[in-house]
Structure 1
């Protein structure tokens, strides 16, 4: 799909910086840029992948607008597989805006839609849909490991495994088709065994991919982690220690935190979406009561709960109430202020929660944070995080399609065992093949494509 429209957008974040980049893609990218670009070189005839120094000049009055570097990448050797020009201007809102407005004023260049550059790369066969979706994961990565996982997907590691799966199913479909066309040469029992064997092999491979799904989703989105406890036990101090910045106000006055404060932090390569909640207690203060209700909502939605207890004081009635509420939830108990004499009965805490989930902590002295990281890693990653050679499945859409494809293959095996005609069994196998194709974009609706790329930023 080679479009006849030329598009442009700012590819860098808006704001002050060293440089800003405007990306132009389409059949007229070079010609339209040449109308504004004055340089010693003729960029219309310039070879691909060359950089040129010059100025952007307003053709209406000859005024020099900006001093830039212009990069030419001719299709198909570009990200979109079309002719692409990138204009590197001085960083800043005014400079880049003036150049973009001048480009759009020519009439044949329009502003790009969100994700349209990546969409063109997909439609032009430069990348498949799974690789395209990995681009947005690269942009939104919250940790080095999440970035590594997204990079592997962008390079096609997941796509290659899905394509291998589909290839095996095509061979199975071809075998079934031959037996449908030439039933006189078919040995039913051998064919049924072959269908079961190849379908089970495909299910096993899907299971291997799904095994990484929960960890991949965590690396992609982070663990929603609620910090809870009664007032003045050190919740906000813990948030500040993890973020390494004074994000939350810390005082000796109970009820200082009135709302849920949200921050992203990476702890030992594990992305945490931290929610510092208002101290949960009975209160007559109207504003604090609203904060407590929001804290309870965050508690319900959390993947992980850090229950902070002041270890230097005996357990309070509010502590006991919280412990009742937290039963059966993924909880790590943090006995804070252990730099002071400990008054909490750790044996009692261990009787209510798993002993491995109790961490002695002194936020003031930053002691125990390494142990907290170790416990989180054990709860969610079995003790280790492997992003080296492992292909993580992190996209919710991919996970759903893998489950659907596996169910279709299970249906095919059950139909075979039930003696259902082979042409009906073929329908289930073909459905699985098509569902896997949706992952990489081989069989996907236009509306879904539009929905996926609408999530991208404007210049990507």
Structure 2
């Protein structure tokens, strides 16, 4: 397979110590050689692979020095894309890095599309599709746990499991074909049914085992939509500030200060939360506050986790009890705040209302109870810690959907065999299972899906 030579800025835009312009393709070294002037006139094409060289970039048309650089030369196939790769390290600044990129493009390189370097690594067989998607998961990881999951997928843990399952299915299909085409025994049909049912149940068990990690894996990848709710002036904004460790929300003694939903990301003991601080839920004549209250009720319906805040120094109200009714059946942690003030709340009634939820007491003003709250959030979704270990966590929504479809297909095989459906019909579902698993690693996937997946990557990756 032949490709042209592509180039892009591979570091974030903005000021920094260095920036990198990356080239990949058969002419990557040749194009860099047209610009690079090293000590003694040494050519990059003559350099050993995986070496770095100090010199200057010179505009070949004007012979003016454009930048002082360090150039890394990596010759294929032992590179990320399995093509020749050149990385030009220049000073990190908008003018500097754009100047280098423009010079490279003038030599004949094409500006890379989003994710095109990783796409070439996939198309050239360097990585499979699940590993390619893990690259973006690694970049977007918001916690150490999420990063560990992405690293495991990049190492090919999920790929190995999927390939083994597909190989088992392929061998089973081949054996079934042999039994049908070359029957040596009178009981060949019974043997074939037994082979199918045993193997199908084994594959079913393996797929279920992988899917058991999907809930935690998806949380680590996408984060939990976490809504802070309660009546006005119970400490919702103080809770947001405590978890974020920064004064993101305005805190006053005036009820109704928060008029809209405030959003912030936070890492709570390895669990990524998308925190939403809502307007206090109460009846109000203020039209702006009323809109905020309606938005609070809306995000409540879409939340993965509810942090329901009560005031230790206030009596329970009908509004408090209505909020308890609204979060019934949802993952909720009840927080009784302001324990530094005299008690007015009926804690026995609170425990009764919060019987199906975790209950934590805090004084956010004095930073008391925050550790207990963080532990409650972590333990609610993760009974144990996620380590690199041998466990394979599946976190990608596309992978989870395909695994569920594969599970349905293999269950159709089991039902078909137990119902006495002809083998050639049952084989269709088994083949379908094999194809669905192949879509996870890119063995059987449409070009349009590949283009769509890589278009979500950042430029230069």
Fold equivalence (TM over 0.5) = yes
Q: In which range does the TM-score fall when normalised by the shorter chain?
A: over 0.9
- Per the alignment, residue 302 of structure 2 pairs with 301
Structure 1 residue 323: deviation in Å? Answer: 2.0
Contact kept? 1:180, 1:423, Cα under 8 Å = no
Q: Secondary structure at the match of 2:389?
A: coil
Pairing of 1:58-457 with structure 2 (within 5 A) = 58-106=59-107, 108-185=108-185, 187-354=188-355, 357-382=358-383, 384-457=385-458
Structure 1 residue 383: deviation in Å? Answer: 5.1
Deviates more, 1:83-92 or 1:311-320: 311-320
Task: Name the CA distance, whole Å, in 2 between partners of 1:329 and 1:406.
Answer: 27
- Per the alignment, residue 11 of structure 1 pairs with 10
Contact kept? 1:17, 1:91, Cα under 8 Å = yes
* Residue segments in structure 1 that go unaligned for 5+ positions in a row: none
Structure 1 residue 184: deviation in Å? Answer: 4.5
TM-score, scaled relative to structure 2: 0.97
Task: Name the CA distance, whole Å, in 1 between partners of 2:231 and 2:404.
Answer: 42
**What is the CA deviation profile of residues 71-105 of structure 1, one whole-angstrom value per residue up to 9, with x for unaligned ones?**
01111111111111001110111100011011112
Q: Secondary structure at the match of 1:44?
A: helix
* Residue segments in structure 2 that go unaligned for 5+ positions in a row: none
Q: Secondary structure at the match of 1:320?
A: helix
Task: Name the CA distance, whole Å, in 2 between partners of 1:400 and 1:180.
Answer: 33
Task: Name the CA distance, whole Å, in 1 between partners of 2:2 and 2:115.
Answer: 16
**What is the CA deviation profile of residues 398-455 of structure 1, one whole-angstrom value per residue up to 9, with x for unaligned ones?**
1111111111111111111222221221111111011101000011000000111111
Task: Name the CA distance, whole Å, in 2 between partners of 1:446 and 1:112.
Answer: 18
Structure 1 residue 239: deviation in Å? Answer: 0.7
Deviates more, 1:289-298 or 1:160-169: 289-298
Structure 1 residue 177: deviation in Å? Answer: 1.3
- Per the alignment, residue 458 of structure 1 pairs with 459
**What is the CA deviation profile of residues 181-204 of structure 1, one whole-angstrom value per residue up to 9, with x for unaligned ones?**
213546221221111011100000
Q: 1:206 to 1:355 in 2, by over 3 A?
A: closer
How many correspondences in the alignment?
A: 458
Task: Name the CA distance, whole Å, in 2 between partners of 1:89 and 1:82.
Answer: 22
Structure 1 residue 47: deviation in Å? Answer: 1.4
Q: 1:387 to 1:259 in 2, by over 3 A?
A: farther
Q: Secondary structure at the match of 1:388?
A: coil
Structure 1 residue 128: deviation in Å? Answer: 0.3
Structure 1 residue 284: deviation in Å? Answer: 2.0
Contact kept? 1:224, 1:273, Cα under 8 Å = yes
**What is the CA deviation profile of residues 19-62 of structure 1, one whole-angstrom value per residue up to 9, with x for unaligned ones?**
11111111110001111111122101111100000111111111
Q: Secondary structure at the match of 2:257?
A: coil
Deviates more, 1:161-170 or 1:351-360: 351-360
RMSD over equivalenced CA pairs, Å: 1.3
Deviates more, 1:204-213 or 1:258-267: 258-267
Task: Name the CA distance, whole Å, in 1 between partners of 2:28 and 2:387.
Answer: 43
TM-score, scaled relative to structure 1: 0.97
